[in-house]
Amino acid sequence: MTREEAEAHLAELWRRGTEFLGCRYAILGGAMSWVSERNLVSAISNAGGFGVIACGSMSPALLDAEIAATKERTTKPFGVNLITMHPELEALIDVCLGHRVGHIVLAGGIPPTGAIRRIKDAGARVICFAPALALARKLVRSGADALVIEGSEAGGHIGPVSLTVLAQEILPHLREVPVFVAGGLGRGEAILSYLEMGAAGAQLGTRFVCATESIAHPRFKEAFIRAAARDAVPSVQLDPAFPVIPVRALANEGTRRFLEHQAEVIRRFRAGELSKDEAQLAIEHFWAGALRRAVIEGDVETGSVMAGQSVGLVTREQPTAEIIAELVEQAIAALMRRETAAVAAAAD
């Protein structure tokens, strides 16, 4: 297989994804709060991928300014990730539609059917997260135009199932809409393998944290560069009576303090000093502002250094365009090696 043939084959494998997103490469930037903002998002889109703004807890006014600033930096398509539990979800949707954002990602829970309908009626496309085949089918029936299946290898808030299992469960059985894979992806060969299973493309977050265009604090980036895969661990829940939403991040002093904090809060609850609701709130409040402290202020000791297990594949700071070109080159090289091996085997 010549290089031109390999490039054409890769283009065909993710053609459904590139046509859906309107970009050259079906590589989405994962929406990471405080990281996936105007600079990184526009850089991903300008490099041929598909950048996605992380709205997170932004107000409608802040999101309006962020979208406008991103449009000043790129003429390429990009999307916006909205958290379904945001108290101003409807207003945030209005902001996106006002800017004619073509793709809106609804994350953080099962999206309201009414929200999906409003977005589609306005001409935009809806992307949803599906943690299981049954829910994937339900989301498609509700109107989702595409799905992301994200494995537990990912950084930040995670589900319980790995991408390798989710892909086997969902990709062979759901063809109605494009399905993008996410979680633990850091090389082009891995992306290629999922494309061949039927994925339309891939979403990567951790790989882009150390992009030159990323505004993450130098200490935050250095923590990624120095970390191994085993350093990115999910948060630990001490007592099932006080559930903790699992978040994958680099283990640090904050991780240890969180365990101590849970133990102290539970002790106070059992001593009658706190109600159950007060105790639950106290546990959840521990990490308030911790992600911003880490990403923006560089507090990588007590802040929340959210990272996927692919963090071990991040070895240096690179321009976004170089990261994407590297991923594409790895996939093309893998296709060419396979053809060479097949020819050699036939000759034997």
* pLDDT above 90 as % of the chain: 95
pLDDT reading at 258 higher than 80: yes
CB 305 within 8 Å of CB 155:
no
Q: Please compute the mean of the pLDDT values over residues 171-185 and round it to a whole number.
A: 97
What pLDDT, on a 0 to 100 scale, did the predictor assign at position 166?
Answer: 98
Q: Please compute the mean of the pLDDT values over residues 190-194 and round it to a whole number.
A: 98
pLDDT reading at 311 higher than 70: yes
HEC assignment per residue over the chain: CCHHHHHHHHHHHCHHHHHHHCCCCCEEECCCCCCCCHHHHHHHHHCCCEEEEECCCCCHHHHHHHHHHHHHHCCCCEEEEEECCCCCHHHHHHHHHHCCCCEEEEECCCCCHHHHHHHHHCCCEEEEECCCHHHHHHHHHHCCCEEEEECCCCCEECCCCCHHHHHHHHCCCCCCCCEEEECCCCCHHHHHHHHHHCCCEEEECHHHHCECCCCCCHHHHHHHHHCCHHHEEECCCCCCCCCCCCEEEECCHHHHHHHHHHHHHHHHHHCCCCCHHHHHHHHHHCCCCHHHHHHCCCCCCCCCCECCHHHHHCCCCECHHHHHHHHHHHHHHHHHHHHHHHHHHHHC
338 band by pLDDT with thresholds 50, 70 and 90: confident
Tell me the HSE value of 20 on the side-chain side, using a 13 A CA sphere.
Answer: 25
What pLDDT, on a 0 to 100 scale, did the predictor assign at position 347?
Answer: 64
Q: Please, what's the largest Cα pairwise distance for the chain?
A: 78
pLDDT reading at 180 higher than 70: yes
What pLDDT, on a 0 to 100 scale, did the predictor assign at position 245?
Answer: 87
Q: Domain map of the chain by residue range? A: 3-204+318-346, 218-309
pLDDT digits (tens, 9 = 90+) for 222-241: 999 999 999 999 999 999 99
User: Residue 96 corresponds to which tokens in the numbers above?
Assistant: 């996106």
Looking at the DSSP assignment, which residues form a beta bridge with residue 127?
A: 105, 146
pLDDT reading at 346 higher than 90: no
What pLDDT, on a 0 to 100 scale, did the predictor assign at position 275?
Answer: 96
What pLDDT, on a 0 to 100 scale, did the predictor assign at position 288?
Answer: 86
Instruction: Tell me the CATH number of domain 3-204+318-346, given options 1.20.1250.20, 2.102.10.10, 3.20.20.70, 3.60.20.10.
Output: 3.20.20.70
339 band by pLDDT with thresholds 50, 70 and 90: confident
pLDDT reading at 344 higher than 90: no
* pLDDT, mean over the chain: 96
* This prediction's pTM: 0.94
pLDDT reading at 348 higher than 70: no
pLDDT digits (tens, 9 = 90+) for 166-177: 999 999 999 999
Q: Please compute the mean of the pLDDT values over residues 94-108 and round it to a whole number.
A: 97
What pLDDT, on a 0 to 100 scale, did the predictor assign at position 39?
Answer: 98
- Of residues 14 and 340, more confidence is placed in 14
What pLDDT, on a 0 to 100 scale, did the predictor assign at position 335?
Answer: 96
CA 180 to CA 157: how far, in whole Å? Answer: 18
Q: Please compute the mean of the pLDDT values over residues 316-333 and round it to a whole number.
A: 98
Looking at the DSSP assignment, which residues form a beta bridge with residue 201?
A: 180
